[in-house]
Amino acid sequence: MQLEQITPFVPCSDLDRQIVFYRDRLGFSPGYRSDGYAFMRRDKVALRLVQVFDHVDLQHPERQGSFYIDVQGIEDLYRSLEPALATLPTNRLRVPFDQPYGQREFHVADEDCTLIMFGEPIAQAA
């Protein structure tokens, strides 16, 4: 027995806008879609977008979420996404950098300020 994957639920204030963000900026493919819910996948990584009520402020610090995606070939991934990410405001993108705990990472904030962190062990980074 083993665990295979974690698939985060990502709350969003505008489901259509988030689908476009994850598709056009990060290369995820839309899968199943229903009212207030969308399943998206890229390679072995998946996420579930969930529409929240209008009164929920997802940009409030107590509501902000994050998730980490382990990758192979972080520099190639960043280069492939760079044209789409280049138009984001500077406070929503942190270009590749080395962490003291041995990971090379880049960070992207989605339309509702959920932080997506991509990382790879430095020894494997090209």
At residue 104, the pLDDT reads 97
pTM over 0.75: yes
Average pLDDT over residues 96-108: 96
Q: In the chain, where are the structural domains located? A: 9-55+64-121
Average pLDDT over residues 109-114: 88
Band of pLDDT at residue 13, cut at 50, 70 and 90: confident
CATH superfamily of 9-55+64-121: 2,3-Dihydroxybiphenyl 1,2-Dioxygenase, domain 1 (3.10.180.10)
Reply yes or no on whether the pLDDT at 59 is more than 80.
Answer: no
Band of pLDDT at residue 54, cut at 50, 70 and 90: confident
Q: How far is CA 39 from CA 53, 58, 63, 111, 112, in A?
A: 19, 19, 21, 17, 17
